[in-house]
Every structure is written in structure tokens, then in C-alpha cells.
Structure 1
Amino acid sequence: MSIGTINLSVFTRSAVRCGVSDYSRYLHAELERFPEIESIRIVDAPTDVVRAGAFSALEHYHADKQRFRELGAKMNALGANLAHVQFQYFFFGGVAPHKNHTAAFLSAIRLPTVMTVHEIALPKPQTPLSHRLLLQSVNRSIFLNPALHHLIVHTEQDRQRLERIGVPHNKISVLLHGIPTPQPLPNPDAVRKEMGLEGRKVLTLFGFLSNKKGHAFAINALEGLPEDVVLLFAGGQHPDDHTDYVPNLRRLVSQLHLERRVRFMDYLPEAQIPSIMSLTDIALAPYTETSGSGSLALFMAYGLPIVASPIPPHQQIEHEAKGCLSLLPKLSSDCLRDHISSLLNSPTRLSSLHDSALAYAETHSYQHMAQETLALYQQLLKK
């Protein structure tokens, strides 16, 4: 059966930069190289639907629900024959049942639909049973929605999580997160001089500041490292984050008297990323959770030595490409401190991590992920 060319409607965020907007931009640039892709049309995820508090969410509930139905209907327009939804809860209003409108959005789509799942909210051990049941209901309404023909995840752990929710095994594909093509690096000595970091060892934790990235582990680890070691948080508070997470990090830095050794870089324009990568001695990924990290992908793109937490997605990468990550034996500030200290005194090990990261990046490019994505599109359109 001939499927002809593909006219793709994509729901993602493009007006405001975030990890998923960068991801989509990289992926679309590669997909557009294929003659099978005739067009890619963006339906932009709104940025003003995350309501502060239950009262506001309930007050706007029906209007927001209708708005998402209209956005879903836009996915069908202009000759599209396939829909691809980039999913994060906050793209659809939030996690709570009275905030999330994913089901309303999907109900209006009349095309074969793929969803890339960038996060799966799970209850914490202390979560009350009533909240667990509500979260289970929200997840089932999203991931078991009959409008979805296939789901993409970037880690084996997320595939297993979706299966536990009830998604059939054959409706899930694990496509490893793509690695972007790096930009040329500036002279690192010039960048260090410009930033006042001459003679310093630089640790970098990249991307929007969120609690799953483990910034507090890095701050506490820094306290026990030599004075010439500094820590860069190369990213700002996420526009959808209305918590006290970032102010709490700043308070922790102040309490430990590390103001001169910790820099909050805030939002980084894309043109500045190579500068930060050029002066980084060790990249940090002490994450407590990840569904495939764009920040980690950038570190690999530039061949940075990476110290990472031993969570399953990182173990999956290390299993596939041994020596690509320097995994902690366990996630703690003490382990992170000792691991960093050991690496800073081992140029040979740093060089090996650099080479392994570049080798992984070469075999897991966005071009490769785009090829896998196109094959999935074609498979769905044949059904």
C-alpha cells in the first residue's frame, strides 16, 4: 500500500523556548530533509493555561476545555494526514484532574496520532491514597485515550511505566533521545577571562532549574571541594514553575556561604551555549528522574565528561555505550563530591569520558532519531 507524502501536524511549544521546543526544532529540521515529509505544521501549546490554585483552575475550567478542543481541531486542518503530540502535563494545564485538558484536546483530532511522552507523573511514597487514585485517573485518561495510535518514549523505564498504566506493549516505541549537532566552540581561555573564571575548575548543571535535576546535591557537594572549583547553573526557572524551588536553592547557597562559587546563569540564549560548554571541565547530571534529557544530550554533543546519578535511564545509556557516563555508586552529595574530586585529578579518565561521549553522540544523532520516527509514521499510515 502506497502512503504518499506525509503532511504532519505537530502540537508542541515553539513561541517560548524550553527543552521540548528545542527538541522539536532539532527533530523537525531532520525530518524535513526526507522527501516523504511534504510539510510540518505547528499548533503551538499555549503558555497561559497553568492556573495558580484550584479556584482559578475551576473558574476557567470550561473555557480552557473548549480552548483545547479548538486546538485539537486545528490539528486536522490544511490537508494534514498525521498528528504528532509532544506531551508534557503543563502544555495541557497541569497534572491535577481539574487542570489537565489533554482528553479534550485529543477528542477533537481526526487523524492517526502519535504522542511523544516527555514525562509521566507518578505518586511519591507519602502521597495519600486519594491523590494516588486521582493521578492514576489522569494518567489513564491521557495515555489510554483511544485517539492515540502510538506512543514514543525515550527510556525503557518509561515504557515499563506506560505498560503498568495499561498501554499495550505493541503501542509503545522506545527511541533514544537524539543528540544535536554542536556549534563551533570559542576559545575557552577567552571565555574564562570574560567570565572571571581564570584558574578555576568549572562544574556545570545545564537547563531549566527543576527539582528532578538534583541541584541541591551539587551545591552540598561543592562545599567539600577545593576553593578553585565553581558551579554553574546554566539555566533559569522554568516559565511553568510557580514553586519556591529556585529561591530555596539560592537560600541554600547563602546558608553554606558559597555565593562566590555558585553562579545562577538564568536563561541562556542559544548563541551562548557553546561558551558555557567550552569552559566546563565536568558536566553534572545528579538527576533523581528523567524521561530522556535534552541537557544530557547537549553535554554529549560537546564531548563533555559527565558525572551522572545511577537512575535506570542513565544505566540504560551506560549499558549501551560503556564508559559514556561516569555513574555514581549512589546519589548523595558525599558520593558526588568524592567522584568529582577523583575525576579532577585524573586527566586520563576525563579524556576517556570525552571520547566516549562523542562516540555516543555520533551514533545517536537527531538524524538517526528522525529516521526511526519517519519509519513509525509510515507504519501507522499503512494501517
Structure 2
Amino acid sequence: MTVKGMKIGYLHVGPPEHGVCRYGRLLATAARQHNDVAVIEASVMLGNNRNHNRTLLIQAAQTLSEADVIHFQFNKFGRTLWGEGWAQIHHLRLFMDHCSAPLVVTLHDVFYPPYRLATVLRQAQAKWQTGGAAPKPSVAQALSAPAVHPSHRPRWRKGVGFLQSIFNGWFGAEAIALQAIVRRAALILVCTREEATRLTDRVARQTLQVIPHFVEERSIQVSPTAARQTLGLENTRIVTLLGFIYQPKGHHLLVEAIPALPEDVTVVLAGGSSSSYYDAYVESLIATATANGVAHRLRITGYLSEADLELYLRATDLAVCPFTRFSASGSLSTWISVERPILASDLPQIAEYNQLEPNAIHLFTPCTSSALAAAIERVLPQCTPEGSPAVSRLRQKLSMAVIFNQHLAHYRRLGSTDQGRSQTMLKSVT
């Protein structure tokens, strides 16, 4: 087999507009720019009919059977992708069992805590000692909380819940799905070193590689002034949090920060809830803004078309990412693509960006609404329509061309020798 004639297969599972599915499609598009590579693609939309799903996945494997390497994306939270629970495991195994080429799998939203015995004992002791002494929830958190706030539960119930999470982390459906991938994949990719750390007890080091989330090329023709006029946001400074609305992204921190910000600042939550499960959280954000008398300075857009999204991207003065936890962020990559100044919470994944390009992303700490408000006031005067030079340099380092070449090096290593295929065949019989 020669490198020049290698064929790369891409499996796309789920709706095309889903971020994870779109990630794989964009990689396939980048691959087609290389004359020494042939691209084969298969798309699957799984439903509730088990037999129909089986047919679709087997047909996809057959379509990709000529590929030297097959790459697909996986997100354990993506119920519209591979399904959920035990169905997810069945679908994964079914497809992988019908593939003979080396498999490359990119894992998204990686939350698999490394539960060594010592770690378990330390965390269990900490949870037992803290008991109910948890910080008072904010207005938004309280409004969206269950009838009994987790911090008020008896110690024994918290302990049981912790042990249950450990059990599910190793023996639940999501863990078994990961195990199935680990057994069959010749290469597992993640977007951050933090995600790789979360997999240290589950994936062999030689199988796991980190390739950063790529940044798309965008060419937005509208000017910031025209974008603001179209959106009805003239004569205001715009601070935007982009993406689906749910607690870990820190929307409540930004909404709670509004009263401390100057009157000419408007906060935009550019997105909506990803499912009805988070509707109560969205309502709590509105209630918080109303209670604080700043509802007129808050705009929640709901789902945005690509054209409307680009208007908000151009109109924004400062992008904020007050995440309390995350793996790799597509919304952060979107901000980098338009070179807007970015303010983010001080998390390990953000530090990785700043290691790649020093001071590209402004930080705030601790992760509180007051610290966020102070940081916004500090950074906003530095924001200009021309964008951030440091973010521009970061964008170049994370361009699709650069990031795809990192993928291509791994494809070639696996596809141009018998090593990858023999490794895949060995894993398939173990």
C-alpha cells in the first residue's frame, strides 16, 4: 500500500447540523483538498427501529470497506448521534465489528473521571466531611434547582450517590461504550490535554493523542456597525455568550453580573436550550434579570441561523466564556475564527490556548459573578472593531489546514503500513 493512493473513510452519524457531526464533515472536506488522498463518506441517521438501524450501519461499513483508515466522531451525551444507553453500545459494536480497516475515533465532551482507589477514598472522605456545608446557591441556581437541593441531602444519601456514580463510571452503559471503542480503535483522539488526563485510567497512552479543535475559516462581509443596526443594538457595548444554554457554561454568572456593569452594556445569550430539560434554567435566567431590574439589558436569541449568527459575531465587542466545566468548546473556536477579544474562566483547557499563544484569552478568577463583572469592566475598554491581534495569531495556529495535517500524519501512519490494520484485527478478536 502506498501513501499516495491512501483512502480515508469518514462515518457521519446524526443530523448534519449537530456540532459533532459537523466536526467530522469539515474534516472530510479538508481531506478532499489533498490530491494524494481519496475520501469516502457514509452518513447515517439512527432512529427507533432496531432492524433499520442495523441495516444502515452495516451498509455504512460496506461503503467504507475500501478505506485504508476509517474515522468517526463519538459523544456519549449525543442521544441524536449514536443513541443512548445500551442501544449506543449495540450500534457502536455493530458498526465496528463490520470494519476491517484501522479505526480512528475522536471523543467529544470527555467526562470520565480517573477513579483509582486512592482517588475514590480521598473524594469520599471530602464529601463526607463537607456534609451539608455547601455555598448558598445563586438566584438562578435556586430557581432551577430540584425541590431538595443536593447540598441539603443527608450525608448517607450523598455517599450513596457518589458510590453510584463510581459504579456507573466503570460498569454503566456509557463506560461500556467507551470500553468497546478502546478495544477496537487503533487511535483515539481528544481535543485537549485535560480530556486526555480524564482518560488516563481507561485508554493506553500509545493509543491516545491530542489534536486541538480546529478553527473554521470565516469571511463575514457585514461591518460591526451594520450588524448592530440590523440587530437593533446601536449605541450599546455588546457582551456575548455563545452556544446552547445550560448550567456548566455559566450563563447564570453572566446574568448575575449585569447589575454591576455600566448601563451601556447589553448582554446577549446567543443560543437557546439544547432540550426541554434546560427550559427551566433559561426561565430562571430571565427571572434573575427581571428581579434585578436589568431585563432590558439581556437578550436571549434562541436558535440562530448561520446568517443571524454571523451578525451577532460581528456586533459583539467582547466574547465571554464563564464556563464552570467543559471539555473542548466549539463556541470558543467560533470566537477565535472571528478574532474577537475573549474573556474566559481560568480552567486548564483555557491555559492550553494561552500556552499556544500567550495572553490570547483574558482570564478571570474566581469563577463568580462579581469577579466576572470586574473582569468585563477591565477588558471592555481594550476591545476594538479590528479584533485582537493575539487571537488572530491563535486562529492561524489552529486553522483547519494546520489541524487537518496533524490528522493526516496519523492517518498515514496507520494506513500506509500493516501496523494499523494488524492492530485492528488483533483488537477485534480479543
Deviation at 1:309, TM superposition (A): 0.8
Contact between 1:286 and 1:331, CA under 8 Å: does it hold in 2?
yes
Once residues 242 and 40 of structure 1 are traced to their aligned partners in structure 2, the CA distance between those partners, rounded to angstroms, is 37
- 1:137-161 deviation line (CA, Å, top 9, x unaligned): 2454233322211111000011111
Of 355, 372, 375, which aligns to 2:406?
372
Matches within 5 A, 1:35-184: 35-46=35-46, 48=47, 64=50, 69-78=54-63, 79-81=65-67, 82-89=69-76, 90=78, 91-94=81-84, 96=85, 101=90, 102-122=92-112, 127-137=161-171, 138-145=173-180, 146-164=183-201, 166-184=202-220
Contact between 1:69 and 1:107, CA under 8 Å: does it hold in 2?
no
TM-score (norm 1): 0.86
Aligned letter for 1:144? Q
Deviation at 1:288, TM superposition (A): 1.9
Where do 5+ consecutive residues of structure 1 fail to align? 50-62
The 1:11–1:241 alpha-carbon spacing in structure 2 relative to 1, beyond 3 Å, is farther
Once residues 243 and 93 of structure 1 are traced to their aligned partners in structure 2, the CA distance between those partners, rounded to angstroms, is 22
SS in 2 for 1:277: helix
Contact between 2:356 and 2:394, CA under 8 Å: does it hold in 1?
no
> Is the aligned partner of 1:311 residue 2:347?
yes
Deviation at 1:80, TM superposition (A): 3.5
* 2:396 paired residue number: 362
Deviation at 1:97, TM superposition (A): 5.1
Once residues 244 and 135 of structure 1 are traced to their aligned partners in structure 2, the CA distance between those partners, rounded to angstroms, is 27
Once residues 273 and 97 of structure 2 are traced to their aligned partners in structure 1, the CA distance between those partners, rounded to angstroms, is 32
Once residues 302 and 254 of structure 1 are traced to their aligned partners in structure 2, the CA distance between those partners, rounded to angstroms, is 32
Once residues 356 and 175 of structure 1 are traced to their aligned partners in structure 2, the CA distance between those partners, rounded to angstroms, is 21
The 1:76–1:122 alpha-carbon spacing in structure 2 relative to 1, beyond 3 Å, is closer
Once residues 122 and 250 of structure 1 are traced to their aligned partners in structure 2, the CA distance between those partners, rounded to angstroms, is 33
Once residues 70 and 15 of structure 2 are traced to their aligned partners in structure 1, the CA distance between those partners, rounded to angstroms, is 16
Deviation at 1:295, TM superposition (A): 0.8
Contact between 2:27 and 2:404, CA under 8 Å: does it hold in 1?
yes
* 1:301 paired residue number: 337
Deviation at 1:5, TM superposition (A): 2.4
Deviation at 1:28, TM superposition (A): 2.1
TM-score (norm 2): 0.77
The 1:32–1:240 alpha-carbon spacing in structure 2 relative to 1, beyond 3 Å, is farther
Contact between 2:215 and 2:399, CA under 8 Å: does it hold in 1?
yes
Deviation at 1:254, TM superposition (A): 3.2
Matches within 5 A, 1:226-375: 226-238=262-274, 244-346=280-382, 354-375=388-409
The 1:74–1:249 alpha-carbon spacing in structure 2 relative to 1, beyond 3 Å, is farther
* 1:213 paired residue number: 249
Q: Percent identity?
A: 23
Deviation at 1:7, TM superposition (A): 4.0
The 1:342–1:98 alpha-carbon spacing in structure 2 relative to 1, beyond 3 Å, is same
Deviation at 1:105, TM superposition (A): 4.4
The 1:13–1:97 alpha-carbon spacing in structure 2 relative to 1, beyond 3 Å, is closer
Once residues 80 and 97 of structure 1 are traced to their aligned partners in structure 2, the CA distance between those partners, rounded to angstroms, is 29
Deviation at 1:173, TM superposition (A): 1.1
Contact between 2:71 and 2:105, CA under 8 Å: does it hold in 1?
yes
Deviation at 1:241, TM superposition (A): 5.6
Deviation at 1:104, TM superposition (A): 4.6
Contact between 2:111 and 2:198, CA under 8 Å: does it hold in 1?
no
Deviation at 1:8, TM superposition (A): 0.7
Contact between 1:204 and 1:231, CA under 8 Å: does it hold in 2?
yes
Root mean square deviation, CA, Å: 2.6
Once residues 80 and 207 of structure 1 are traced to their aligned partners in structure 2, the CA distance between those partners, rounded to angstroms, is 37
* 1:8 paired residue number: 9
Once residues 106 and 257 of structure 1 are traced to their aligned partners in structure 2, the CA distance between those partners, rounded to angstroms, is 55
Once residues 113 and 8 of structure 1 are traced to their aligned partners in structure 2, the CA distance between those partners, rounded to angstroms, is 9
Once residues 304 and 15 of structure 2 are traced to their aligned partners in structure 1, the CA distance between those partners, rounded to angstroms, is 16
Aligned letter for 1:217? L
The 1:72–1:244 alpha-carbon spacing in structure 2 relative to 1, beyond 3 Å, is farther
Contact between 1:202 and 1:230, CA under 8 Å: does it hold in 2?
yes
Of 261, 265, 270, which aligns to 1:225?
261
Once residues 365 and 2 of structure 1 are traced to their aligned partners in structure 2, the CA distance between those partners, rounded to angstroms, is 28
SS in 2 for 1:197: coil
Once residues 242 and 99 of structure 1 are traced to their aligned partners in structure 2, the CA distance between those partners, rounded to angstroms, is 23
Number of residues of Structure 1 aligned to a counterpart in Structure 2: 363
Aligned letter for 2:344? A
Where do 5+ consecutive residues of structure 2 fail to align? 114-122, 128-157, 420-430
Deviation at 1:232, TM superposition (A): 0.9
The 1:185–1:333 alpha-carbon spacing in structure 2 relative to 1, beyond 3 Å, is farther
Aligned letter for 1:314? I
The 1:320–1:286 alpha-carbon spacing in structure 2 relative to 1, beyond 3 Å, is same
Deviation at 1:29, TM superposition (A): 1.9
Structure that is richer in helix per residue: 2
Contact between 1:112 and 1:149, CA under 8 Å: does it hold in 2?
yes
